[in-house]
């Protein structure tokens, strides 16, 4: 097994000694004349090499100082374990003991890092000369590897075992020690936000109840600069323009098994924008067209993202007008007395500098084009430092690289700039196994295989298989984020799903393929165009079920085209506290196949933080309608069913029912609406446990059928009846995913509705 070395814990067994018998060396005033030099003890090293290091000339006077200098040169050659020089009259004897040859290298005591990994770290090699200095360096490198793993208490001692023929075995004795965890993260100087809220901003986390599973619990010095930047971005996006991290003090405990990390910060005042102007300092360039692109309003909370967004829009105007080397300079004037910032966007003439080329290094798997397309700048374009910085952020956001550095330097002339991109690849594939539980599905198991950088092309390939009680699902998908070299997201997939009496007394089977393209139509808006072809089967409907379902039993093919428009304020991130999202979509079935329907859905949502951002409020509204045409009537697999739209009820717990049928089947509906509101907040537990609480209230309805003639001719009541439920939730962020426990109570329902007072689900994001 391989183990890592602890810092400052390296011992070397072999020592280098160089001696020269003092009795045989005359005083500094004396001199020797050597007619011959004899070398003793050399086996591998040629005598000529030894003589070249000694540099003692025959037949010339040699002082005692020069003789000592020869000793030093032989010592510093790094070839000998011991060296002696002995004058014998007119003969100089040089007696050496060569360093042994390394027979083999082994590691003892390592469990966390295997031998193969450690062998790649050390530079000492078998069949090469053993050098104590290199063994020390190897020990330090192993120690650093363990420190990266969070084991700062690891100790590594290089030892040698002497063998015959002047050979040695090199053994690195490793004591790994325990993880050096972060016991506590604290802050000084914070008044606007609590320690709890700020800890949630950091990449570094405190050691919690799952400390053996969560890697972020360990102390990693390289994460400190990242955390400083995260804190800075957090505060400045909320108006604290003068915020800075004054110091970070990591303190190691005496046992070297934990750290206390304290961030000393200075918040400064919270600013709002005051006067906002746009001026042109370029002769002949009118500022009015640029001012129309301003998205910063007087009274808004200061946010660098809003300034950057406006600059980007103004730069687009400059390109449209054919103006090169226009620099949009934001000039900020602080007014501490009323805590406002006056902002002026100044159009100035920038230096005439062009991008000579973009050099990309370090991408052993990812193709150059995947990185290059993150730049809106190409060779020959005017150099824009802000765009280069934004491109660097986009490259890092890909998730393909553990490190990505983008720098610029002068090219072949002062008017040329070379952009250097240096990346370090990291694994982009994952194989995961999981388990799930739901009141409707029971215990389930799933496996997924995903690759987010397929063949280094930036493409996504995924395969998912899941099974639960009465529910088996499988799917495969392929995504090309930059179809035809443009911001055009193309996806294609296939699926096969089977249910057996899942929340019902009948079985279903669905198999099909789908494809879509998605592209931006505005800063926050995207449009998706899609097509789906599927064959669905409804079977095993018992005689006890509604006559409506019995008549719908069979197989139907759906061929549908559709579109969706989505608008999400988070795409620009101009308001970090409150976010909005909207969507509207329609699917038109009837491009071939049996199903002829028009399905329309719409939704709106809002998420906002309050009370020092300790509490998160969410609200969502959904609605949908399906209409058949050409005498087609939607069947059960077309119509809307409850699902999780209104919590507090089972998956088929609400909507029209055939009460004359023995099993009182839920039939779904042609229309639905649902409104949900919830609050998520801390419940007093340390945030490193990842457990928070919540309250929610849901209201909605499903109604409307084309055919209301049920069993025995009894009419099915398909009117719109409002259902409502309230409840409490426990959110738990675990290594296997965010879990949510819901406890609910229906407060408005029909007698035939099916309640569900508890459920465990995967927590979805806003």
Distance of CA 743 to the CA centre of its chain: 32
Burial class (CB in 10 A: 0-12, 13-18, 19+), 522: exposed
* CA distance readout (Å), 383 to 191, 264, 305, 326, 376: 41, 38, 21, 10, 11
- CATH number of the domain that 674 lies in? 2.40.160.50
Same domain, 166 and 237: no
Whether residue 200 contacts residue 187, with contact meaning beta carbons closer than 8 Å, is answered with: no
Cβ-based neighbours of 614, under 8 Å, separated by 6 or more: 194, 196, 197, 681, 682
Structural element, H or E, at residue 319: helix 304-320
Residue carrying structure tokens 């070297």: 256
Question: Can you read off the two tokens belonging to residue 320?
Answer: 């449209």
SS3 state of residue 291: helix
Same domain, 585 and 542: yes
- CATH number of the domain that 398 lies in? 3.10.20.310
Residue ranges, the chain, pLDDT below 70:
1-30, 208-217, 434-442, 735-736, 763-765
Angle (CA) 29-33-35 rounded to 5° is 170
Same domain, 457 and 314: no
The predicted structure's pLDDT at residue 223: 84
Whether residue 106 contacts residue 79, with contact meaning beta carbons closer than 8 Å, is answered with: no
d(CA 78, CA 707): 95
Crossing angle of helices 304-320 and 385-397, in 10° steps, is 120
Same domain, 388 and 478: no
Domain C-terminal end among 392, 409, 425? 425
The predicted structure's pLDDT at residue 282: 93
* CA distance readout (Å), 98 to 45, 81, 83, 137, 502: 8, 5, 9, 20, 79
Per the document, the length of the chain is 766
Residue carrying structure tokens 């100087």: 189
Count CB atoms within 10 A of the CB of residue 36: 11
Same domain, 12 and 45: yes
Question: Can you read off the two tokens belonging to residue 383?
Answer: 């150099």
The predicted structure's pLDDT at residue 210: 54
Cβ-based neighbours of 189, under 8 Å, separated by 6 or more: 246, 264, 265, 266, 267
Same domain, 258 and 283: no
Nearest to 724 by CA among 700, 758, 753, 742: 700
Helix intervals (H) in 15-163: 47-54, 64-76, 115-121, 132-148
3-state secondary structure 151-218: CCCCEEEEEEEEECCCEEEEEEEEECCCCCEEEEEEEECCCCCCHHHHHHHCCCCCCCCCCCCCHHHE
The predicted structure's pLDDT at residue 17: 35
CA atoms within 13 A on the CB side of 293: 20
β 167-175/101-108 pair status: parallel
Count CB atoms within 10 A of the CB of residue 41: 16
Same domain, 573 and 667: yes
Question: Can you read off the two tokens belonging to residue 79?
Answer: 């070839």
The predicted structure's pLDDT at residue 436: 63
Total domain count for the chain? 6
Residue carrying structure tokens 């000529």: 48
3-state secondary structure 726-766: EEEEEEEEECCEEEEEEEEEEEECCCCCCECCEEEEECCCC
Burial readout 364-396 (b: 16 or more C-beta within 10 A, e: otherwise)? eebeeebbebbbebeeeebbbeebbebbbebbb
Angle (CA) 424-428-433 rounded to 5° is 145
Same domain, 287 and 257: no
Same domain, 547 and 692: yes
Question: Can you read off the two tokens belonging to residue 62?
Answer: 């040699």
* CA distance readout (Å), 664 to 549, 655, 658: 11, 11, 5
Question: Can you read off the two tokens belonging to residue 530?
Answer: 């899609």
SS3 state of residue 720: coil
d(CA 447, CA 567): 32
Domain C-terminal end among 175, 197, 230? 175
Largest CA distance in the chain: 131
Q: Where are the beta strands (DSSP E) in 501-541?
A: 507-520, 525-539
Same domain, 361 and 475: no
Count CB atoms within 10 A of the CB of residue 26: 12
CA atoms within 13 A on the CB side of 282: 21
Burial readout 560-596 (b: 16 or more C-beta within 10 A, e: otherwise)? bebebbbbbbebeebbbeebebbbebbbebbeeebbb
Nearest to 540 by CA among 496, 511, 500, 498: 500
Domain assignment of residue 261, given as a range: 181-266
Domain C-terminal end among 366, 400, 425? 425
pLDDT in tens, 639-660: 998 878 899 999 889 999 999 9
d(CA 643, CA 376): 43
d(CA 447, CA 618): 31
The predicted structure's pLDDT at residue 21: 40
Burial class (CB in 10 A: 0-12, 13-18, 19+), 118: buried
Same domain, 162 and 55: yes
For residue 669, the cross-strand partners are: 640
The predicted structure's pLDDT at residue 12: 30
Same domain, 2 and 33: yes
């Amino acid at each position: 097994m391989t183990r890592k070395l602890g810092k400052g814990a390296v011992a070397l067994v072999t020592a280098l000694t160089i001696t020269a018998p003092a009795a045989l060396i005359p005083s500094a005033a004396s001199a020797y004349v050597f007619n011959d030099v004899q070398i003793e003890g050399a086996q591998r090293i040629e005598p000529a090499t030894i003589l070249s290091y000694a540099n003692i000339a025959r037949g010339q006077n040699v002082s005692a100082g020069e003789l000592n200098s020869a000793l030093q040169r032989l010592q510093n050659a790094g070839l000998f374990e011991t060296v002696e020089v002995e004058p014998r009259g007119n003969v100089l004897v040089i007696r050496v003991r060569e360093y042994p040859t390394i027979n083999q290298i082994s590691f003892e005591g390592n469990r966390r890092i295997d031998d193969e990994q450690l062998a790649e770290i050390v530079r000492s090699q078998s069949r090469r000369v053993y050098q104590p200095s290199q063994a020390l360096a190897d020990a330090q490198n192993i120690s650093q590897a363990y420190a990266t793993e969070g084991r700062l208490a690891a100790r590594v001692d290089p030892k040698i075992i002497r063998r015959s023929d002047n050979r040695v075995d090199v053994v690195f004795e490793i004591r790994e020690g325990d993880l050096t965890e972060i016991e506590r993260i604290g802050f000084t100087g914070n008044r606007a936000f609590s320690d709890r809220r700020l800890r949630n901003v950091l990449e570094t986390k405190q050691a919690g109840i799952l400390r053996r599973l969560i890697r972020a619990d360990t102390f990693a010095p390289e994460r400190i600069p990242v955390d400083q930047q995260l804190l800075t971005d957090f505060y400045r996006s909320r108006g604290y323009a003068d915020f800075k991290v004054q110091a970070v003090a990591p303190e190691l405990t005496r046992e070297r098994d934990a750290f206390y990390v304290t961030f000393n910060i200075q918040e400064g005042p919270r600013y709002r924008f005051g006067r906002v102007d746009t001026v042109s300092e370029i002769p002949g360039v009118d500022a009015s067209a640029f001012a129309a692109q301003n998205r910063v309003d007087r009274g808004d909370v200061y946010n660098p993202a809003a300034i950057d967004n406006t600059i980007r829009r103004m730069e687009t105007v400059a390109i449209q007008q054919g103006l090169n080397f226009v620099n949009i300079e934001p000039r900020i004037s602080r007014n501490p007395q009323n805590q406002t910032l006056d902002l002026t966007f100044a159009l100035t003439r920038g230096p005439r500098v062009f991008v000579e080329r973009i050099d990309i290094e370090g991408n052993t798997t990812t193709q150059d084009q995947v990185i290059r397309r993150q730049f809106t700048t190409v060779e020959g374009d005017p150099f824009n430092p802000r765009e280069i910085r934004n491109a660097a952020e986009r490259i890092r956001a890909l998730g393909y690289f553990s490190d990505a550095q983008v720098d610029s330097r002068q090219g072949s002339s002062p008017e040329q700039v070379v952009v250097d991109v240096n990346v370090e690849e990291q694994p982009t594939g994952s194989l995961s196994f999981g388990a799930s539980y739901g009141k409707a599905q029971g215990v389930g198991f799933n496996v997924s295989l995903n690759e987010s950088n397929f063949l280094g092309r930036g493409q996504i390939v995924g395969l998912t298989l899941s099974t639960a009680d009465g529910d088996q699902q499988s799917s495969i998908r392929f995504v090309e984020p930059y179809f035809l070299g443009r911001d055009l997201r193309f996806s294609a997939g296939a699926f096969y799903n089977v249910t057996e009496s899942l929340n019902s007394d009948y079985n279903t089977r669905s198999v099909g393929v789908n494809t879509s393209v998605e592209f931006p139509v505005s800063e926050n808006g995207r449009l998706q165009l899609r097509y789906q072809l599927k064959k669905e089967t409804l079977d095993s409907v018992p005689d006890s079920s509604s006559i409506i379902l019995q008549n719908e039993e069979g197989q139907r093919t759906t061929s549908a085209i559709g579109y969706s428009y989505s608008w999400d304020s988070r795409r620009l991130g101009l308001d970090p506290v409150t976010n909005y999202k909207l969507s509207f979509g329609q699917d038109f079935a009837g491009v071939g196949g049996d199903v002829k329907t028009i399905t329309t859905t719409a939704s709106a949502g809002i998420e906002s933080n309050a009370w020092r951002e300790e509490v998160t409020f969410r609200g969502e509204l959904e609605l949908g309608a399906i209409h058949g045409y050409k005498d087609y009537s939607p069947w059960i697999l077309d119509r809307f069913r409850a699902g999780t739209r209104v919590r507090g009820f089972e998956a088929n717990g609400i909507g029209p029912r055939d009460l004359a049928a023995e099993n009182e089947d839920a039939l779904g509906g042609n229309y639905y609406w649902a409104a949900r509101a919830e609050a998520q907040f801390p419940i007093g537990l340390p945030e490193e446990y990842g457990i928070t609480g919540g309250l929610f209230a849901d209201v909605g309805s499903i109604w409307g059928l084309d055919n209301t003639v049920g069993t025995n001719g009894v009419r099915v009541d398909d009117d719109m009846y409002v259902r409502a439920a309230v409840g409490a939730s426990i959110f738990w962020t675990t290594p296997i995913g965010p879990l949510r426990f819901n406890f609910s109570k229906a407060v408005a329902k029909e007698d035939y509705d099916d309640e569900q007072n508890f459920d465990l689900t995967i927590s979805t994001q806003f």
